[in-house]
Structure 1
Amino acid sequence: MATIDHVSRAEQARQHTLVVVAHPDPRSLTHAVAREIAGATEGAGGSVETADLAGERFDPAFTIDDVRHYHGAAPAPADVVAEQRRIDRADRLVLVFPVYWWSMPALLKGWIDRVFVNGWAFDHSVEQGITPRLTGTTVHLVPIAGGDADGYRRHGYTEALRVQVESGIFGFCGATVGSATTIFESEATTADTFAAEMESLAAAVQGAAVATA
Structure 2
Amino acid sequence: MATVLIVYAHQSTGSFNAAVRDVAIKELSEQGYRVVVSDLYAMNFKANATKDDIIGDLKNPDLFQYGEETMHAWNEGRLSDDIVAEQRKVKEAELVIFQFPLYWFSVPAIMKGWMDRVLTQGFAFSLKNMYDNGVFKNKKAILSFTTGATESMFRPNGINGDINVALWPLQNGTLHFCGFQVLAPQIFWSPAHCRSVDRIVMLEQWCARLQGLMAEKALTFARCEWFGLSFEQGFLLRPEVKEEQESNAYGITTGHHLGKLLPPDNQTKVQAT
TM range (shorter): 0.7 to 0.9
- Offset at residue 192 of structure 1 (A): 5.8
Equivalence for 1:96:
99
**SS at the partner of 1:61?**
coil
2:143 is aligned to: 141
- After superposition, give the CA deviation of every residue in 1:90-137 in whole Å (9 maximum; x if it has no partner): 10011110011111100111100100110101124xxx5856211111
Shift of the 107–157 alpha-carbon distance from structure 1 to 2, 3 Å rule, reads farther
**C-alpha distance 191-55 of structure 1, shift in aligned 2 (>3 A):** farther
Choose between structure 1 and 2: higher strand proportion.
1
Deviation at 1:157, TM superposition (A): 4.7
TM-score, normalized by length of structure 1? Answer: 0.84
Is 1:209 aligned to 2:214, yes or no? yes
Q: Which runs of 4+ in 1 moved over 4 A?
A: 128-131
- TM-superposed CA distance for 1:76, in Å, is 1.4
Structure exhibiting the larger radius of gyration computed from Cα positions: 2
Residues 99 and 143 in structure 1, CA contact (< 8 A), matched pair in contact too: yes
2:123 aligns to what SS in structure 1? coil
Q: Match for 1:172 among 161, 177, 191?
A: 177
Aligned to 1:3: none
Decide which structure has greater helix share: 1
5 Å matches for 1:8-157? Answer: 14-66=1-53, 67=66, 69-72=69-72, 75-124=78-127, 128=128, 130=130, 132-153=134-155, 154=158, 155-157=160-162
Given that 1:140 and 1:205 are in contact with CA atoms closer than 8 Å, whether structure 2 keeps it comes out as no
Question: Quick one: distance in 1 between partners of 2:5 and 2:101?
Answer: 18
Residue 168 of structure 2 corresponds to 163
**How much identity, in percent, do the aligned residues show?**
27
Cα distance between partner residues in 2 of 1:191 and 1:28: 13
Unaligned 5+ residue runs, structure 2? 54-65, 218-273
Gaps of 5+ in 1: 1-13
Deviates more, 1:200-209 or 1:75-84: 200-209
Q: Matched residue pairs, number?
A: 196
Tell me, yes or no, if the aligned pair for 2:27 and 2:210 is still in contact at 8 Å.
no
- In the alignment, the residues of structure 1 paired with residue 41 and residue 183 of structure 2 have an alpha-carbon distance, to the nearest angstrom, of 25
1:38-74 C-alpha deviation (Å, 9 max, x unpaired): 1111122222111111111111111124426325257
SS in 2 for 1:200: helix
Q: Does the Cα contact within 8 Å between 2:71 and 2:122 map onto a contact in 1?
A: no
Residues 190, 57 of structure 1: alpha-carbon distance in 2 compared, 3 angstrom cutoff: farther
Q: TM-score, normalised by structure 2?
A: 0.66
Distance in 2 of aligned mates of 1:52 and 1:30: 12
- Opposite residue 136 of structure 2, the aligned amino acid is L
- Give the conservation status (yes or no) of the 8 Å contact 2:129–2:135: no
Q: Matches of 2:52 and 2:126 in 1, distance apart?
A: 19
Q: Name which structure has the greater RCO, CA cutoff 8 Å, separation 6+.
A: 1
